[in-house]
Amino acid sequence: MTQNIYDDPDFHAAYMRLPRSVSGLEGAPEWPSLRTMLPRLDGARVLDVGCGLGWFSRWARENGAASVLGLDISKRMLDGARAATDDTAITYARADLEDVALPEGAFDLAYSSLALHYIAGLDGLLAALARALVPGGMLVASVEHPVFTAPATPGWLTDAAGAPAWGLNGYLDEGRREVDWLGTRVVKQHRTVAGWLAALRRAGFNLARLEEWAPSLAQLEKHPEWVNHRQIPNFLLFAATRA
Amino acid sequence: MTQNIYDDPDFHAAYMRLPRSVSGLEGAPEWPSLRTMLPRLDGARVLDVGCGLGWFSRWARENGAASVLGLDISKRMLDGARAATDDTAITYARADLEDVALPEGAFDLAYSSLALHYIAGLDGLLAALARALVPGGMLVASVEHPVFTAPATPGWLTDAAGAPAWGLNGYLDEGRREVDWLGTRVVKQHRTVAGWLAALRRAGFNLARLEEWAPSLAQLEKHPEWVNHRQIPNFLLFAATRA
């Protein structure tokens, strides 16, 4: 079973103060990039995998989706998502993404924001998503980038020229990592870029787009405190089509 | 024009002492992985892009290729390649890969070992390779991995746990890098993983396989001095099919 940090009261309280919790999609700096990977949503049946507070679920409905099913393991997050809408075409359901039962060929788009890197049984989930999509349906997702998840002791070091450099090691060794985030010990799963792409292929997805996201130079001007994050890819964004 | 380091006498002398120059494919630890990406060579017309001393060109002929055209910018390397065979089905030609003229639809396989990361005009070269291949023809190549080419001041640092960590920065900023290698100032071109895959797509190639290569645990047992190189991906290996 996936670790359910979002129902830990302290973690949840800290998470609720993040810009992406307060402001939703507009508070997530990778959203403008991820958004360009989405297909047209008019009439689409959408699956929101790890929906959290439901920001994307509501946005999808506002942008033409016929219906949305949002799945999350956290009761607190689902309570927040449900409280934020009275749209009857959005359904929220509690689910462990390691072991989720979905109707076959029932969705046109599966979307997942920063959730899949928590999933140890990725092959099972991707296979379930492929079955749940119609042929030609799309999976659009963001995950923490492998150079970010790789190190057992992540952190910024200083290179021989005195510049900040991310300490990269452990890259080839895929699997479980434990890191401190918002005062909580968080379990995540490291995979290489090639590992992510191979998992998509095994599940019957064809890669359509790949982006290694970092703040743009325009975003850096507004947020000079993100300067280190411009030095490495922060997130891996991808769009893939179910064969 | 691409920098021609291999015709620099000092660099050439140092390069000729590397295991991959002395022992050929068997001296290149990534070869066993790259080899698994190759299609069957029986009767194939092969283009060896940056053929160096011709080790792969000769191997391709020994493994069923009908003919091989080997291209390289270095006169010294081509002299070495020519001296090593009297096989009339292998042709070697001097070419700047930035600006190479090739017959259309004349090859079944284009192979390139550790050459493409020297090429500034990659789009032009990939387009030329796509035109030179038959539909369904393959490009199989290795390049230095982007985490290796990214830093302006590359090197190993020490992380907070005292472990060796590669100092990663500059990843998002694609373009020219100058590094010291074998006593020479070498110019190469940094591209992100996503940048490599996008360039393949623009040229009309469909990615078939991707590997982020580092020494295997078995290789590490034989070469304990490679321990740091197990921590990061050293090379990006890919196979792509011309649409």
Q: Domain of A102: which CATH number?
A: 3.40.50.150
Q: What is the pLDDT of residues B19-34, one digit of tens each?
A: 888 889 999 999 999 9
Task: Give the count of alpha carbons within 13 A of A232, CB side only.
Answer: 27
- Residue B217 is predicted with a pLDDT of 93
- Residue A220 is predicted with a pLDDT of 94
Cβ-based contacts of B199 with chain A (< 8 Å): none
SS3 B200: helix
What global pTM score does this model have? Answer: 0.95
Cβ-based contacts of A157 with chain B (< 8 Å): 157-159, 165, 167
pLDDT band at B188 (very low <50, low <70, confident <90, very high): very high
Q: What is the pLDDT of residues A16-60, one digit of tens each?
A: 999 898 889 999 999 999 999 999 999 999 999 999 999 999 999
* Number of domains within chain A: 1
B164 in a structural domain: no
| pLDDT at residue A235 is higher than 80 | yes
The closest CB to that of B167, out of A159, A171, A212, belongs to A159
The closest CB to that of A155, out of B159, B193, B232, belongs to B159
| pLDDT at residue B1 is higher than 90 | no
> Are A159 and B155 a contacting pair at CB < 8 A?
yes
- Residue A204 is predicted with a pLDDT of 97
- Residue B183 is predicted with a pLDDT of 86
| pLDDT at residue B46 is higher than 80 | yes
> Are B233 and A155 a contacting pair at CB < 8 A?
no
| pLDDT at residue A184 is higher than 90 | no
> Are B193 and A212 a contacting pair at CB < 8 A?
yes
Contacts within 8 Å (CB) and 24+ apart, B6-15: B6/B52, B6/B72, B6/B73, B6/B74, B6/B76, B6/B77, B7/B74, B7/B75, B7/B76, B8/B184, B10/B183, B10/B184, B11/B182, B11/B183, B11/B184, B12/B74, B12/B76, B12/B77, B14/B182, B14/B183, B14/B184, B15/B182
| pLDDT at residue B106 is higher than 80 | yes
Residue entry with tokens 């799963």: A189
Rounded mean pLDDT, B164-188 = 94
- Residue A211 is predicted with a pLDDT of 98
> Are B168 and A165 a contacting pair at CB < 8 A?
yes
- Residue A232 is predicted with a pLDDT of 97
B165 in a structural domain: no
Q: What is the pLDDT of residues A62-101, one digit of tens each?
A: 999 999 999 999 999 999 999 999 999 999 999 999 999 9
Cβ-based contacts of B164 with chain A (< 8 Å): 169
| pLDDT at residue A1 is higher than 80 | no
User: If you ran DSSP here, which 8-state letter would residue A224 be given?
Assistant: G
| pLDDT at residue A195 is higher than 90 | yes
- Residue B68 is predicted with a pLDDT of 98
Distances (CA, A) of A205 to A63, A97, A200, A232: 25, 18, 5, 27
Between B60 and A19, the more confident residue is B60
Q: What is the pLDDT of residues A122-165, one digit of tens each?
A: 999 999 999 999 999 999 999 999 999 999 999 999 999 999 99
- Residue B107 is predicted with a pLDDT of 98
The phi-psi region of residue B162 (left if phi > 0; otherwise alpha if psi is between -120 and 50; otherwise beta) is left
SS3 B198: helix
| pLDDT at residue A3 is higher than 90 | no
**Rounded-to-integer distance, Cα A15 and Cα A35, Å:** 23
- Residue B195 is predicted with a pLDDT of 98
In A169-204, which ranges are E strands? 175-181, 184-190
pLDDT band at B172 (very low <50, low <70, confident <90, very high): very high
Q: What is the pLDDT of residues B114-125, one digit of tens each?
A: 999 999 999 999
- Residue A4 is predicted with a pLDDT of 87
Closest approach of chain A CAs to the CA of B163, in angstroms? 8
Range of the domain at A133: 5-242
pLDDT band at B74 (very low <50, low <70, confident <90, very high): very high
- Residue A181 is predicted with a pLDDT of 86
| pLDDT at residue B239 is higher than 90 | yes
- Residue A183 is predicted with a pLDDT of 86
ipTM attached to this prediction: 0.94
Asked whether B63 and B8 are in contact (CB, 8 A), the reply is no
